[in-house]
Amino acid sequence: MAWYNPSDPKQRNWMLGGIGLLVAVVPFRMYVLAPIETLLAENQAHYDTLDGQNVRARVQAARGGGEFEERNRIYERHVQKLEELIPSGEETGLLMVNISDEARRHGVRIDRMDPEPTEPGEFYDKTSYDMAVIGEYHDVGRFLTGVASGSRIITPVEVDVQLHDQPETYPEMVSPVIVTFRIETYVVPDRPAALPPPAGPGG
């Protein structure tokens, strides 16, 4: 007995659905996700480099000695570079607005954008959002590329793409997909500045 009967509507629809999934998802992963993953890897490497420089510069400055002022200037330059890439707490809301604008620009609908608990760090805090968007797979790819290519460190991670199970809900789309992912960014925390050390006997 053959496992597939073309005259059976249920089996035929199941087969067509499977073929459609391959047609949509395989090109998405090959031509959209692969370049995005490369871009994200470059962003992460840049971030890791700046993070390491930040730590080393602070340690060197803390050692003091005759080169203290020069080391302190190096440290301040590294901090400035890092803060050019990392938003302040007040900017986070604006970044989410920019992501929404990016979605509209590419005809992508945001289905979910839920904030997750902030993870405090030594130099900055990591904040993330659980997201889902719906659109044509090439439009979603352009949207994710735009998000990852911004002037701030914003990284889409854990990207998963599936054919939408109710495509008739979006008649303006030929083959809508639903893509779930998380957005991660690093935020300069709004913490009080450290008090200066007490002056010595001669200060």
Coil/strand/helix, residue 135: strand
CA 91 to CA 119: how far, in whole Å?
Answer: 17
**CATH code assigned to 9-187:** 3.30.70.60
pLDDT, one tens digit per residue, over 42-71 is 555 555 655 655 555 555 555 555 566 666
Contact 108, 133 (CB under 8 A): yes
Q: Is the pTM of this model over 0.85?
A: no
Is 8 in contact with 2 (CB distance < 8 Å)?
no
Write out pLDDT tens, residues 122-156: 777 888 899 999 999 889 988 988 888 776 778 88
Paired tokens of 86: 């990392």
Residue 190 CB: number of other CB atoms within 10 A?
A: 9
Tens digit of each residue's pLDDT (9 = 90 or more) over 72-113: 666 666 666 666 666 666 566 777 888 899 999 999 999 999
**Domain regions of the chain by residue span:** 9-187
Query: Helix H segments across 86-129?
Result: 92-105
